[in-house]
Chain A
Amino acid sequence: MIRPTSLILMVLAAAAGGALFQVAFEVSALDDELAQLNRDIRADRDAIHVLRAEWSFLNQPERLEELTRRHLDLLPASGSQIAGTGAVPVMPEEELPANGSNIAVTPATAVIAAPKAKPAAPVARAAAPRASAQTENRADLVRSLDDVLREVMATPASATGGAPR
């Protein structure tokens, strides 16, 4: 003796109830997830904090100097190696390489960043190229090392990734 309206209302009520519970459970699950995320964030932040201390420790100038001496072919630039653009003689036209790329002269202020592993000034490098098996790649290799060092030195505070849990 159930009328269609009642039936519809009952179904709706049941659906509403079900939906309510569904939402409630979802909220609860999200709450848990949020709490977990917060715990993770805190753990990561603590880890970053520790890593920053370690990063600073590993970047002790004395240690970097020793590592540079051992692994890199670089020496601190002396005053006589640094010259401004004005000091570079103009290269005769016919000696220019086809792409003209290696006449880029860095102003003296370009050797600011890396503290210990000061790259030899590009001018000096061009003046006295060292014998090497890969002469063509040499300039590129040295430059990329410079870049890496400069980036590393410029951002000492950004220790990221690999946080131990």
Chain B
Amino acid sequence: MKQRIAFESSKKQAIETARNRLLVGGSLMAAAFFVVGVRLFDLAVFNETEDLRRAASREIARPASMARADIVDRNGVLLATSLKTASLFANPRKIGNPADVARRLVEIIPDMSEEVIAARLGADKNFVWLRRNLTPRQQFEVNRLGVPGLDFEQEERRVYPHGRLAGHIVGFTNVDNVGLAGIEKSMDAAIAGASSPLRLSIDIRVQQILRQELAGQIEKFKAIGGGGIVLDVESGEVVAMVSLPDFDPNAAGQASDDTRFNRMTLGVYELGSVFKIFNHAIALETGVASFQSSYDATKPIRVSRFTISDYHPEKRWLTVPEIFQHSSNIGSAKIALDIGAEDQRKYLGHLGLLRRTSIELPEQAQPMYPSRWREINTMTISFGHGIAVSPLHLASAVAATVNGGILRPATLVGGERSSVDGVQVFSAETSDRMRRLLRLVVETGTGRNADAEGYLVGGKTGTAEKQVNGAYKRNALISSFVGVYPVTAPRFVVFAMLDEPKGIKESYGYATGGWTAAPVVKGVVARMAPLYGIAPLDESAPDIRHAININAQPAIRNRSDAVN
């Protein structure tokens, strides 16, 4: 019994010890679990930054980012974009049998020569390009060959959905997506970095109208080329600009130099009588002549070895409006003598005709004009000879003449340009008088073929002989017409030009601006006006008659009252 008690007692002792040990161990474990639990709770509930970091690092769908931004027209129509393509390259060191691989590749890419491929595959290099920008079908076929050493690189290729329609404006890039011409070149950095599309001032619909009208006349008059510009007179935005023949920027490499030549910005021409617009405007602005002044145009002017004569001689005294209406060279030259070389040069400079334009195109030309501005130069420049400018120069200066006298730099980039400050070149009054003169030419003068019914076109024809090797060529003409409409409150300048048109039966053998270029302007005006919400006007309405009236009387009578 005693032994049992002792046993009981020692057993109890052992249990007590074990329990104590267990308690210590259990507490340690509980403490450890508590720490883990707290940390777990902390991680799960409080560790927001960690969650955010993870969430941020998780891939979130981003807009498809291309190496170059899209180019769109003023209405958002896509003009240039980048599409993903696969380019084939090879590691020649891994290619076992170059000749065999070359033979099989030529079957897939038939326009490459087998020798060229074999030579490239046989080179002692780690990398050779075989073909950039495969079609998806070709990529699939090459993959199916299963040749080790051939691989693809995802690349981007510039695509121009409207092709030749905006080729001269948008330009093109090389295979490495570096801009080589047009907007692609001049705004290369902006396009390459941007994620949002670049919006131009071009309207692809007007572009098409202009191109179509021009192409029709070029074909009709067998011209070697031509061009046209539609310019917003208030903002200086180029709404359309076409140079024919043109090229497809999707295949710019195959285009000839002639088709890539932008006649509207890179070409400089002696544009002829359209310059009389500026001559008359300067005369009215400086006050050397008024609508009532008249000049003797009875016989040609002879200066040293030059003779200045009229194309349609009236052989009488002409008033200033009549000189404009009948496009008299003699009268214009005499007005220019009254203006003087200094003022003529000053105003032509203010009109931007003696420096490069500010257009966002790399294809630009410096105007050509005499370094020594002699009397004979003053006379010939009055009717557009002896000075060569690009058509864009002319359109821009005409816009300044009719919009109240403010020159705003021409631009191809659309957007918030309407508020841009311009330079006041002519007074609003001179501008108003010039609009009346321009309307006179279309109503009763040489520009009748440009009269789009209801849209009050005003304008001036120009026909100039081309200079070839320093001599004027009698039958090689630059025939042009520059129009503004509606003439009472001009919105657009429309310029059209044909390069070397030939006279046809329908035009009685004439290839002048009035026969060749004026109908282009008429067609463009009639077709684009509804697109821009320009309503046709009743030309016989009293207020419109009042706004375009010229109180020009025959030169013999002398009216003292002011114009209107």
Spell out A's residues near B (CB within 8 Å).
31, 34-35, 37-38, 41-42, 45-46, 48-50, 52-57, 59-62, 65, 76-80, 82, 84, 108-109, 111-112, 115-116, 118, 156-157
Given A79-B453, A79-B526, A109-B533: A116 and B205 within 8 A (CB)? yes
In the bound complex, what is the Cα–Cα distance between A48 and B161 (angstroms)?
Answer: 15
List A contacts of B84 (CB < 8 A).
46
Near A by CB (< 8 A), chain B positions 11-52 give: none
Q: Are B81 and A52 in contact (CB under 8 A)?
A: yes
Q: Are A82 and B78 in contact (CB under 8 A)?
A: no
Q: Are B530 and A31 in contact (CB under 8 A)?
A: no
22 CB < 8 A contacts A-B: A35-B59, A38-B60, A45-B63, A45-B64, A49-B64, A50-B83, A52-B78, A55-B78, A56-B81, A57-B161, A57-B162, A60-B165, A61-B204, A61-B207, A77-B530, A80-B454, A82-B536, A112-B531, A115-B205, A115-B531, A156-B75, A156-B78
In the bound complex, what is the Cα–Cα distance between A86 and B208 (angstroms)?
Answer: 33
Pick the residue among B66, B165, B207, B454 that contacts A79 (CB under 8 A): B454
In the bound complex, what is the Cα–Cα distance between A160 and B161 (angstroms)?
Answer: 18
In the bound complex, what is the Cα–Cα distance between A136 and B393 (angstroms)?
Answer: 55
The closest CB in chain A to the CB of B40 belongs to A20
Nearest 4 interchain pairs by C-beta: A61-B208, A79-B454, A56-B78, A56-B161
Q: Are B453 and A49 in contact (CB under 8 A)?
A: no
Pick the residue among B81, B212, B453, B532 that contacts A112 (CB under 8 A): B532
The closest CB in chain B to the CB of A159 belongs to B78
- Chain B residues touching A, range: 35 or more
Given A37-B61, A60-B161: A79 and B77 within 8 A (CB)? no
List A contacts of B453 (CB < 8 A).
78-80
In the bound complex, what is the Cα–Cα distance between A112 and B203 (angstroms)?
Answer: 13
Q: Nearest chain A CB to B38's CB is how many angstroms away?
A: 15
In the bound complex, what is the Cα–Cα distance between A80 and B453 (angstroms)?
Answer: 8
Q: Nearest chain A CB to B484's CB is how many angstroms away?
A: 17
Q: Are A56 and B535 in contact (CB under 8 A)?
A: no
Q: Nearest chain B CB to A109's CB is how many angstroms away?
A: 4
In the bound complex, what is the Cα–Cα distance between A34 and B59 (angstroms)?
Answer: 8
List B contacts of A45 (CB < 8 A).
61, 63-64
Q: Are A42 and B64 in contact (CB under 8 A)?
A: yes
Q: Nearest chain B CB to A74's CB is how many angstroms away?
A: 13
The closest CB in chain A to the CB of B535 belongs to A108
List B contacts of A156 (CB < 8 A).
75-78
